[in-house]
C-alpha cells in the first residue's frame, strides 16, 4: 500500500492574530523570495531558465549584498558568536578577515554537516582519537566529495534525514525572527517560501527542527567561543 498523501494544513486565523511577516526581519523576506525564485528556475526544464540560475548565483542582487554587509557590521557580540559558529561548519576562521574559502573546502564541510550534523574538524578530531564512528563518517564524507569532484554526484539530488531545503531556510532565519514565530506561523512561513513541499507543512515537525538547529548552533558556539 502506498504512503498516504498528507492533506494541506487548514489555516484558521483569529481577527486579532498578527501577520507572521511582521515578526521577521525584512531582509529575511527579501532573501527568502530571491531564494524561492532561484529554486523554481533550477527545477525548470527550460535551458535558458537554468542558465539564469547560474547568473543569479554568481551575481546576487546588489541591494541584498549591501544590506548583508550593513547587518554584519552592526552585529553585537552574541550575534557574532552565532555567525562564527555558522562559519565553522565550512572550516572558516572568523579571525582571518577577508579570507576566502575554496570550493573544495566548502563542499567537504557541507557534506559533513549535511550528512551527520558535525563539522569536518569534529570528524577529523574523532578519527585521530580512534573513534570508529567518526572514522567511518569521515570516510563517507570524503567518498562523496570525490564523487562530486569528478562529476559523479549531484549534491542537489542527495537525500538526508532532515530535508535540506527546510534546514537551509530555517538556519538562515534563526537570527532574523524565525525564533519568534509560533508553530502555526512557522508553518505559514514555510508554506510561503519552501518550494520542495506541495502539500503544506507540519507545524510540529518544523518546531522540532527549529529546536534541533538551535541546540546544534549552541554546541558549535561552545567550540568556537
pLDDT at 73 over 90: no
The residue behind cell 562530486 is 148
Write the pLDDT tens digit of every residue in 122-162. Answer: 999 999 999 999 999 999 999 999 999 999 999 878 888 88
The pTM score is: 0.78
Q: What pLDDT score was predicted for residue 12?
A: 47
Write the pLDDT tens digit of every residue in 161-213. Answer: 888 889 989 999 999 999 999 999 999 999 999 988 877 899 999 999 999 99
CA dihedral 83, 33, 196, 164 (to 10 degrees): -10
Q: What pLDDT score was predicted for residue 181?
A: 96
Nearest-angstrom CA–CA distance, 175 and 127: 33
**Cβ contacts of 32 within 8 Å, gap of 6 or more:** 169, 172, 173, 192, 193
User: Of 81 and 98, which is predicted with more confidence?
Assistant: 81
CB 211 within 8 A of CB 203: no
The residue behind cell 527579501 is 30
The residue behind cell 531556510 is 169
Q: What pLDDT score was predicted for residue 224?
A: 78
Burial (CB count within 10 angstroms: exposed 0-12, middle 13-18, buried 19+), residue 127 = middle
The terminus-to-terminus CA distance of the chain in angstroms comes to 51
CB 209 within 8 A of CB 170: yes
- Per DSSP, the chain holds a count of helices (H) and strands (E) of 10, 0
Nearest-angstrom CA–CA distance, 213 and 72: 21
Amino acid at each position: 500500500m502506498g504512503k498516504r498523501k498528507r492533506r494541506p494544513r487548514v489555516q484558521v486565523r483569529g481577527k486579532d492574530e498578527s501577520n507572521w511577516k511582521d515578526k521577521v526581519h525584512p531582509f529575511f523576506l527579501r532573501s527568502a523570495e530571491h531564494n524561492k525564485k532561484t529554486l523554481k528556475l533550477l527545477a525548470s526544464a527550460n535551458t535558458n531558465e537554468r542558465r539564469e540560475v547560474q547568473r543569479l548565483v554568481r551575481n546576487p542582487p546588489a541591494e541584498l549584498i549591501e544590506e548583508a554587509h550593513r547587518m554584519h557590521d552592526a552585529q553585537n557580540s552574541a550575534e557574532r558568536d552565532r555567525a562564527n559558529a555558522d562559519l565553522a561548519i565550512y572550516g572558516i576562521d572568523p579571525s582571518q578577515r577577508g579570507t576566502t574559502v575554496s570550493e573544495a573546502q566548502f563542499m567537504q564541510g557541507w557534506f559533513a554537516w549535511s550528512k551527520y550534523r558535525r563539522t569536518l574538524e569534529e570528524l577529523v578530531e574523532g578519527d585521530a582519537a580512534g573513534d570508529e564512528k567518526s572514522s567511518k563518517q569521515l570516510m563517507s564524507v570524503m567518498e562523496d566529495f570525490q564523487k562530486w569532484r569528478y562529476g559523479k554526484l549531484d549534491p542537489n539530488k542527495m537525500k538526508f534525514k532532515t530535508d535540506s531545503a527546510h534546514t537551509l531556510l530555517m538556519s538562515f532565519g534563526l537570527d532574523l525572527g524565525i525564533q519568534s514565530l509560533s508553530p502555526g506561523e512557522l508553518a505559514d512561513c514555510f508554506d510561503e517560501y519552501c518550494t520542495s513541499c506541495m502539500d503544506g507543512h507540519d507545524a510540529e515537525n518544523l518546531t522540532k527542527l527549529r529546536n534541533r538547529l538551535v541546540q546544534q548552533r549552541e554546541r558549535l558556539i561552545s567550540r568556537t567561543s
